[in-house]
């Protein structure tokens, strides 16, 4: 979920487990959402996106769920691998805006 | 296609100096956005350029400026550097709403 203060929330899982990373967004007018993965020393990498006319979208080993009623987004990673260890950000865009607003991020740690 | 490239990757400057960072977007992308990333503030939007025009601007002081060239390459400049400007500066290019990020320039101000 969203971070409080200076510290990122952390999710620790074992290799092979499924991971769920949550994000609460603030703008009810947001109509486009993206999940990014950022590994240490690298820029954010696009994972998956979803538009507000959908409530679920699947990619390779990842699924994004959107609940507009409670303004909540989640990223599910199946069979988590050590290479999935990174910080995951959600981003929202609203009303035709091309500028995303980013969440604070969640640190995912996968233990072999 | 080649991804977004940023130069230099690392930079150390002294307080009061100025710095120019460069970004080459993905071929065909006309929008380039700049972000500052710090542990305390996360990813913060600086500005966006589209077809050589600043289309959107974040809430940063005038010391932060940018420009875009006719080939969509972009530069950002920070004048009169402060210690608090130490950060990872990220550039992202986009065709529509999906943004693709470069590796960033790590700026350290001493």
pLDDT tens per residue, range A82-93 = 999 999 999 999
Nearest to B103 among A36, A42, A46 (CB): A42
Nearest to B101 among A3, A44, A104 (CB): A44
Q: For tokens 């950000």, what's the residue?
A: A89
Mean pLDDT of A103-107: 91
pLDDT at A1 over 60: no
Q: How confident is the model at residue A7 (pLDDT cuts 50, 70, 90)?
A: low
Closest CA to A25 of A98, A91, A99, A88: A91
The reply to whether A104 touches chain B by the CB within 8 Å rule is yes
Mean pLDDT of B3-11: 97
pLDDT at A2 over 60: no
How many C-beta atoms surround the C-beta of residue B36 within 10 A?
22
Average pLDDT, chain A: 90
- At residue B97, the pLDDT reads 84
d(CA A91, CA B92): 14
- At residue B2, the pLDDT reads 81
Strand partners, B17: none
Min Cα distance A51 → chain B (Å) is 11
pLDDT tens per residue, range A36-71 = 999 998 999 999 999 999 999 999 999 999 999 999
pLDDT at A97 over 80: no
Nearest to B97 among A32, A103, A105 (CB): A32
Residue B95 three-state SS = coil
Q: Do A43 and B56 touch (CB under 8 A)?
A: no
**Secondary structure (H, E, C), chain A:** CCCECCECCEEEEECCCCEEEEEECCCCCEEEEEEEEECCCCCCEEEEEEECCCCEEECCCEEEEEECCCCEEEEEECCCCHHHCEEEEEEEEECCCCCCEECCCEEEEEEC
Which residues fall within 8 angstroms of residue A97, CB to CB, at 6 or more apart? none
Burial of B67 (0-12, 13-18, 19+ CB in 10 A): middle
Burial of A36 (0-12, 13-18, 19+ CB in 10 A): buried
Q: Which carries the bigger pLDDT value, residue B40 or residue A67?
A: A67
Sign of CA dihedral B47, A48, A33, A81: negative
Q: In a mutagenesis test of the B interface, which of A99, A103, A104 is the best target, namely the one with the most B β-carbons within 10 Å?
A: A99
- At residue A95, the pLDDT reads 74
């Amino acid at each position: 979920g969203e971070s409080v203060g200076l510290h990122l929330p952390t999710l620790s899982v074992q290799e092979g487990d499924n991971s769920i990373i949550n994000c609460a967004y603030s703008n009810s007018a947001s109509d486009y959402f993206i999940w990014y993965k950022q590994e240490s020393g690298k820029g954010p990498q696009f994972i998956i996106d979803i538009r507000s006319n959908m409530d679920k979208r699947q990619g390779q080993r990842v699924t994004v769920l959107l609940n507009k009623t409670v303004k909540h987004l989640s990223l599910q990673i199946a069979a988590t691998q050590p290479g999935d260890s990174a910080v995951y950000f959600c981003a929202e865009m609203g009303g035709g805006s091309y500028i995303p607003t980013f969440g604070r991020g969640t640190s995912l740690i996968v233990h072999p | 296609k080649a991804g977004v490239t940023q130069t230099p990757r690392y930079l150390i400057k002294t307080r009061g100096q100025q710095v120019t960072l460069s970004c080459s977007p993905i071929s065909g992308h006309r929008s380039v956005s700049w972000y500052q990333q710090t542990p305390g503030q996360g990813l913060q939007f600086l500005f966006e350029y589209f077809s050589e025009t600043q289309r959107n601007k974040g809430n940063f002081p005038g010391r932060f400026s940018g420009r875009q060239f006719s080939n969509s390459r972009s530069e950002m400049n920070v004048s009169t550097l402060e210690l608090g400007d130490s950060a990872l500066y990220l550039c992202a290019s986009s065709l529509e709403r999906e943004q693709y990020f470069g590796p960033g320039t790590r700026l350290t101000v001493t």
